[in-house]
Structure 1
Amino acid sequence: MSRIHRLALALALAVAAPALPAADDISKVNGSIEAAAGQTYGDLETVNGSIRVGENVQAEDVSTVNGSITIGQGSQVDSVETVNGAIRLGRNVRTRGGIETVNGGVFVDRGSVVGGSVETVNGAIGLVATEVAGNIETVNGDITVGVDSHVRGGITVQRSTGWFQVTPKRRQRIVIGPRAVVEGPLDFRREVDLYVHRTARIGPVSGAEPVVFDGDTAPRP
C-alpha cells in the first residue's frame, strides 16, 4: 500500500476515533483548510476539502484526499499529497519531500525547489525554473520540464496496469524546454512524443526518439 493510500485510510478512520492534534496542527474530515500568510503550522490534513496555504507560511505535511492544494509564494512545507485534486506551488516555494497526486495535475512555478520526487497517475506535470531533487513519474499525464528547470533524477512514464489500466486516446507529450536539465535516464514504457530543446541536457533515453527543437515552444504533431 502506497503512502498516499495509507494516508487516505488513516484520515478516514479518524471519523471513528479522532486523534487530538498538536496545537499548531489543523486536521479535519470534512472541510477546506486556509493557512494564513506568514504563520507557522504543523501538519495540515483534511479528507474532503481543498487546502490553500498563504504566502511565506512554514508547515509540515500538507495532505488531503478529495481536494486541490495551493501553496503560496515563498512558503516552506514538508510534503504535498492529494488523491483527487490538482497541486499548484507558487514562486519560490520549498518542499523538503515530494509532491504526489493520483487524479490531478501538478504545476510548480519559478524559483521553487522540490526536495523529493513529483508523481501523478492521471494528470499533467509542469515545471518553470524549478529544481527537483528526485524523479518525475506519471502514467497518463503530459510532462513539461520548462525553461531553466533542473531535475536531478530521471523521468519515467509507466505503463498503466490494474485499476489505472486505460487505453490512451493520444500519445503523451513530453517537453524538455530551453536550458532545462534532466540528469537521470528518461524511461518511456508506452508511446510518447518527446521534444528536447537544443539547449537542454538530458540523460539516456529508452522507449522514445527525441525530436530536437528551437524557439520558446515545442512543435505540435
Structure 2
Amino acid sequence: MTRTRLTLCLSALIALSSSAAVAADDDVSKVNGSITVEAGQTRGDVETVNGSIRIGDNAAVDGASTVNGSISAGDGARANRLETVNGSIRVGSKFTASAGLTTVNGGIFVDRGGRLKGDVETVNGSIGLVATELNGGIETVNGDVTVGIDSHVTGGIKYTKPTGNFTFQRRDPIVIVGPNARVDGPLVFERSVKLYVHTSAKTGAVRGATAIAFSGATPPAQ
C-alpha cells in the first residue's frame, strides 16, 4: 500500500537526523544542507534531512534521499532510487532507475526516454511521464497523473481512498493517458477522478471511474 511504503520511507529518512550511520567512502550524508553530485560523477548513497539534492548530467548514485527538499537529476543520470518527503522529484531525459521514485508532498516528473523499475508514488503531488518506460505501477492519493505521449506503464495505476489528513483535496484529480501511451495493468480508483484516455492509447481494466475518450493533443479544457 502507498501510505505504508511512504510511512516507512519517512521513518527511515528522519532517522538520519538522530543517528550517524557507517558510510562507505563514496556515500554523502548531511543533516542540514544541500548536496550536489557533479556531472559525470559516481557516488553511493546521497542523503540529507534539510536540503535539496542535485544529480548532474550522466552522474550516477546508488540512492538519493531527503526529508525537506527536492531532488533533481540531469540528462542521462542513473540511480537505484529517489526518495523525499516534502519536495518534488524531477529528472531529465534518458534517466534510468532500478528502483522506485517516492515523495509524499511534491510532484514527480520524468522526461523523455526515462527507463524506470519499481513504482512511482506520491500522496499529495502530481505525476507526469513523457515517453517513459515504467516497469512498475503508479500510486497516489490526491495527485494528478499524466501518462504522457509514448509512455508505457506495466503495473497499472492506483488511487487510494483519502482518509484522515489526506482528505483536503478540493477537486477530483485529473488522470490522463495520452497519445500512443499504454498502461498494461488495471486502473483502480478508490476515489472520484476525471479520467481521460486518448483514442490511440491502450489500458487495462478500469475500476471505479469512467474513461472519457479524446483525440486531440490534450483533453478538453475543464
Q: Which residue of 2 aligns with 1:119?
A: 121
Q: Which residue of 1 aligns with 2:70?
A: 68
Amino acid at match of 2:124: N
1:123-150 deviation line (CA, Å, top 9, x unaligned): 0000000011111011010000000000
| SS across alignment from 1:121 | coil
TM-score by length of 1: 0.95
The 2-side partners of 1:164 and 1:213 are apart by 30
Q: Which residue of 2 aligns with 1:148?
A: 150
Q: Which residue of 2 aligns with 1:39?
A: 41
Cα distance, 1:205 vs. partner? 0.3
3, 11, 15: which is aligned to 2:16? 11
The 2-side partners of 1:171 and 1:162 are apart by 17
Amino acid at match of 1:194: L
Report how many aligned residue pairs link the two structures: 217
Q: Which residue of 2 aligns with 1:28?
A: 30
Cα distance, 1:172 vs. partner? 0.9
Cα distance, 1:3 vs. partner? 3.0
Gaps in structure 1 of 5+ consecutive residues: none
The 1-side partners of 2:21 and 2:182 are apart by 44
Cα distance, 1:118 vs. partner? 0.3
Instruction: Give the superposed CA RMSD.
Output: 1.1
Q: Which residue of 2 aligns with 1:164?
A: 166
Q: Which residue of 1 aligns with 2:202?
A: 201
TM-score by length of 2: 0.95
| SS across alignment from 1:208 | coil
Gaps in structure 2 of 5+ consecutive residues: none
- Aligned residues: percent identity? 53
Deviation beyond 6 Å, 4+ runs, structure 1:
none
Cα distance, 1:5 vs. partner? 1.9
The 1-side partners of 2:61 and 2:82 are apart by 10
The 1-side partners of 2:22 and 2:131 are apart by 40
The 2-side partners of 1:124 and 1:12 are apart by 28
Cα distance, 1:12 vs. partner? 2.0
| SS across alignment from 1:163 | helix
The 1-side partners of 2:209 and 2:102 are apart by 25
Higher percent of residues as strand: 2
- Is contact 2:13–2:65 with CA below 8 Å preserved after alignment? no
The 1-side partners of 2:72 and 2:127 are apart by 15
The 1-side partners of 2:196 and 2:106 are apart by 23
Cα distance, 1:171 vs. partner? 1.3
Cα distance, 1:214 vs. partner? 0.5
